[in-house]
Amino acid sequence: MCIIYMREYTCGCEEEEEFVQCEKRLGTNVRCDPVREIARPASMHMCRHHMVREGKDEMHSKA
């Protein structure tokens, strides 16, 4: 079965990280249906969409 590896970030977002085609469909444009989702360990960071550029309002962690 084809697999999608998922990562959850501290902001609550969950993103696809990697898609791996099963051996049966390797080298084709076909995927399994359904595709198996596997959660990778949660990130200690926010996703790139919730991070700001340097000089913008910054949020600091409460360590």
Domain with 20 in it: 3-39
Query: For all residues of the chain together, what is the average pLDDT?
Result: 89
30 within a domain of the structure (yes/no): yes
pLDDT at 58: 67
12 within a domain of the structure (yes/no): yes
| pLDDT > 90 in the chain, percent | 71
11 within a domain of the structure (yes/no): yes
44 within a domain of the structure (yes/no): no
15 within a domain of the structure (yes/no): yes
- Tell whether pTM > 0.75: no
pLDDT in tens, 26-43: 999 999 999 999 999 999
What does 5-62 look like in DSSP terms, one character per residue?
Answer: EEEE-TTS-EEEEEEE--TTTTTSS---SSPEEEEPPPPSS--TTS---TTS------
pLDDT at 36: 96
Which band of pLDDT confidence, cut at 50, 70 and 90, is reported for residue 52? confident
58 within a domain of the structure (yes/no): no
Q: Give me the number of domains the chain comprises.
A: 1
